[in-house]
Amino acid sequence: MKAVVLLGGEGTRLRPLTYTTPKQLLPVVEVPMLERVLTHLRAHGVDEVVLSLGYRPDAFFAAYPDHEAVGVRLDYAVEPEPLDTAGAIAFAAGHAGIDETFIVVNGDVLSDVDTSALVAFHRSHGATATIHLKAVDDPTRFGVVPTDADGRVIEFVEKPPADKVPTNLINAGTYVLEPEVLARIPAGRRVSVERETFPALAAHGEVFAMASDAYWLDTGTPAAYLQANADLLNGSRPGLPAPGARQVSVGVWTLGAPVVRGEVHGPSLLGSGAQIAHDATVTASVIGARAVVERAAHVENSVLLPGARVGVRARVVGSILGHDCVVAAGCELSPVTVVGDDVEVPEGAHLVDARVPAEMAS
């Protein structure tokens, strides 16, 4: 089966990390987010994927030059201009010559939905389009999708006020589509699948939806990105936190051979070549490959991307450090601070909910 993975967004909420790395290539417990999405698709019979690219397509070409990842064949469709969701789907599917039932997912959404069951539901209902729905506590921030008893979509309601919410089920961003949908997406302009294509199909009774309580997370914010990592470490998602991870003590996992002279408390993972110095402490964090936590430093509820360094007596709490950045001695970083790739935070700096882009490097 074939799928389209939408990857065109610039990831503005995850800046400065996304100045240099598209968000879907950011690691979630040492595995690129996109590869986690592809692994899930492969488990449900998808063997060919079209990557719908807009922002930094070169990064994806470099990451997967052989047009393959985790056993899935890849094709690349680079939008000539931003086409919005429906436009991107039509462009990518047309590029790949898709002419059969196919799946669409967002590359920055991590989900354990039973995609095989979604496809079976789609076919049994004779749907033109089928949407995965997820119940949320606050549906006012999303597009909600009321259905009838058979699962047929009644309407789409975008960010309803609290006193007029028809359901707490939101569009979770996984779709099963028939190829005839593509002919109903106007070419040459931006078209939203959520606001234009699906409502038009629903008006003719052609859209169905299946709700699921499976794990689902939109990783688009720093807080959500931290949660995506934590959920794999604390067991909110089943299985190993990363392929090849080894549990060396309760809740503490390693990849490769990190060097640990300080204390590490779970749930945490140390990547290959990571170093935790004497008197340093790490708690509930991902310390990426080659990352270093120096003497008497403290890292908690954080993610250090590969090569990051935390200096002597520095404290990093609830924060994200980019590739090969340096947090110098005596710094204090509090939630949710995000430091970009190759940035050096000067000695003694105190940052709270800060964003430190490359152009602010000292």
Distances from the Cα of 16 to the Cα of 1, 12, 23, angstroms = 36, 8, 10
The DSSP element (H or E) to which 123 belongs, if any, is helix 115-124
Let me know if 2 is a catalytic residue: no
| Angstrom distances, CA of residue 5 to CA of 174, 175, 222 | 10, 11, 22
CA–chain centroid gap for 37, Å, is 8
User: b/e per residue, 333-362, with b = 16+ CB within 10 A?
Assistant: beebbbbbbebbbeeebebeebbbbeeebe
User: Distance between CA atoms of 139 and 251, rounded to whole angstroms?
Assistant: 34
- Residue 32 β-bridge partners: 27
Task: Extract the tokens encoding 265.
Answer: 């408390």
Closest CA to 99 of 35, 39, 44, 48: 48
Q: Report the 10 Å Cβ neighbour count for 244.
A: 11
Catalytic, out of 2, 23, 159, 164: 159
DSSP state of 15: T
Whole-angstrom distance, CA of residue 251 vs CA of residue 12: 33
DSSP letters along 225-287, please? HHHHHHHHHTTSS-S-SSTT-EEEETTEEESS--EE-SEEESSEEE-TT-EE-TT-EEES-EE
Which residues carry out catalysis?
159
